Amino acid sequence: MTTTQVPDTHGRFGGFGGRYVPETLMNALYELEEAYNRYKDDPDFLKEVRYLLKQYSGRPTPLYYAERLTEHLGGAKIYLKREDLNHTGAHKINNTIGQAVLAKRMGKKKIIAETGAGQHGVASATVAALLGLECKVFMGEEDTKRQALNVFRMKLLGAEVVPVTSGTRTLKDACNETLRYWVSHVDDTYYILGSVTGPHPYPMMVRDFQRVIGLETKDQILEAEGRLPDVIIAAVGGGSNAMGIFHPFVGDASVRLIGVEAAGRGVDTDKHAATMTKGTPGVFQGSMSYVLQDAGGQVQEAHSISAGLDYPGIGPEHAYLKDIKRAEYVPITDAEALDALQLLSRKEGIIPALESAHAVAHTLKLAPTLPKDTTIVISLSGRGDKDVESIIGYLGGDLP
């Protein structure tokens, strides 16, 4: 399938992607692309990345058969790809290890990162500590309150957390502020972008670093079931865990790929982050993709119970997969995600991140409609510890 050949040399996934950034950054993007192309197949580089993924982050992560959840739903067999068992508790570290090793190869001593839920910030602060790099993390002021634990965690790791007070004070403006800082410090600073978003080469490079999720899944499901899964379900904010698990299966036409986006309080309210369901193509934060925007092209505020999905854009390769109808994108509300989080906790003893709970929630709808001899793999992108405090806020401290 031709999809494995995207992006083209201009960073285009069909009509999406590209490099829509101020001129000041253009040479830095070329420098990054050249460095990435030089190292991505370099045996020493790959050896170091693979070593850290294995010995430091604990890969491969298990593909776990969720037997009690499967029985409860009475349909397709459900497997969980346990990205929550990575060091730092989410898939984000797959990418930060790759990029930090690259930054070091490029001779950069300082890294910057944006973060929403704080998972990418923690993963960046972690690899910065590991590799002896100076680290600054930009985080919306609103998110620093919602995710106070992660703020403290980043500081413990020696990173500086910069609260962003412009605009919506969430992930969107944290990204803007990181890009602005990069424009000013492009000489000596490496920007570890956390998702498959932004200007080329980031969507391609982050996808490549996250592909390990899908590559492992493929081996593991073949070992467990002797055949490919029927469905893969993953939550999408910017879309890095979803792209990581989808990508090795894009050429396998029999595998349904479903991205689950945050419907917040409902796609018919103005409080959601359902970029694919309600957005339209536009240019946002460096690339052409689907965007939540008004008729005049002003980007709208997103809403989700999950800080990691609370983003009005989505990676350009997802936009491409949607348009060529290779992947489907469905919305899940805050309430549905909370229910799914509780169900998975009680049935399997796994408290998922609110982001991942969106993928679980869609599985609750889909699995019962499928025959028992079919399989679904959920990308369980992160663990829920970071969300416990905000879940208390939603559910009340006293559970029945």
Partner 1 sequence: MSTATANAIDSVFAELAARGETALIPFLTMGDPDLETSVRLIAAAEAAGAHMIELGVPYSDPLADGPVIQRASERALRHSISLTDCIGVATKAREAGVRMPFILFTYFNPALQLGLERFFSLLQEHGFSGVIIPDLPLEEDAEVREIAERTGVHLIPLVAPTSEARVERIASRAKGFVYCVSSLGVTGVRSDFHAGIDQFLATVRRASNVPICVGFGISSREHAERFAGIADGVIVGSAIVRQVEASLPPSALGDAGRTEAGLAEVRVFIAGLKPRKAGEV
The one catalytic residue among 33, 48, 83, 114: 114
CB 186 within 8 Å of CB 112? no
In the list 4, 23, 268, 399, the residue contacting partner 1 (rule: CB under 8 A) is 23
Q: Is position 302 an interface residue for partner 1 (rule: CB under 8 A)?
A: no
What tokens were used for 329?
Answer: 């994108």
The one catalytic residue among 177, 381, 386, 390: 381
In the list 6, 7, 16, 28, the residue contacting partner 1 (rule: CB under 8 A) is 28
Question: What region does 220 belong to: left with phi over 0, alpha with psi -120 to 50, or beta?
Answer: alpha
In the list 39, 190, 284, 329, the residue contacting partner 1 (rule: CB under 8 A) is 284
* Contacts of residue 183, Cβ cutoff 8 Å, sequence gap at least 6: 22, 24, 25
Q: Is position 27 an interface residue for partner 1 (rule: CB under 8 A)?
A: yes
* Contacts of residue 84, Cβ cutoff 8 Å, sequence gap at least 6: 90, 350, 352, 353, 356, 380, 381, 382, 383, 384
Q: Is position 293 an interface residue for partner 1 (rule: CB under 8 A)?
A: yes
Other CB atoms closer than 10 Å to residue 385's CB: what's the count?
13
Q: Is position 180 an interface residue for partner 1 (rule: CB under 8 A)?
A: yes
- Subset of 185-224 contacting partner 1 (CB under 8 A): 185-187
Quote the Cα angle for 221-262-150, to 5°: 85
Q: Is position 324 an interface residue for partner 1 (rule: CB under 8 A)?
A: no
In the complex, the smallest distance separating the C-beta of residue 25 from partner 1, rounded to whole angstroms, is 8
CA distance 84 to 66: 15
CB 314 within 8 Å of CB 238? yes
Query: Known catalytic residue: 92?
Result: yes
For 233, how many CA atoms within 13 A lie in the half-sphere containing its CB? 30
Q: Is position 295 an interface residue for partner 1 (rule: CB under 8 A)?
A: yes
Q: Is position 37 an interface residue for partner 1 (rule: CB under 8 A)?
A: no
What tokens were used for 20?
Answer: 């829509």
Nearer to partner 1, 36 or 79 (CB): 36
Q: Is position 167 an interface residue for partner 1 (rule: CB under 8 A)?
A: yes
Span of 32-40, 232-240, 267-275, 291-299 interacting with partner 1 by CB under 8 A = 291-299
Burial class from Cβ neighbours inside 10 Å (0-12, 13-18, 19+) for residue 300 reads: middle
Query: Known catalytic residue: 83?
Result: no
- 376 - beta bridge partners? 78, 231
Query: Known catalytic residue: 254?
Result: no
Nearer to partner 1, 17 or 382 (CB): 17
Quote the Cα angle for 189-195-197, to 5°: 90
In the complex, the smallest distance separating the C-beta of residue 300 from partner 1, rounded to whole angstroms, is 8
Q: Is position 19 an interface residue for partner 1 (rule: CB under 8 A)?
A: yes
Q: Is position 265 an interface residue for partner 1 (rule: CB under 8 A)?
A: no
The one catalytic residue among 92, 136, 172, 278: 92
Q: Where do contacts with partner 1 occur on this chain (CB under 8 A)?
A: 10, 18-28, 166-167, 172-173, 176, 179-180, 183-187, 282-286, 291, 293, 295-300
Tell me the catalytic residues: 92, 114, 381
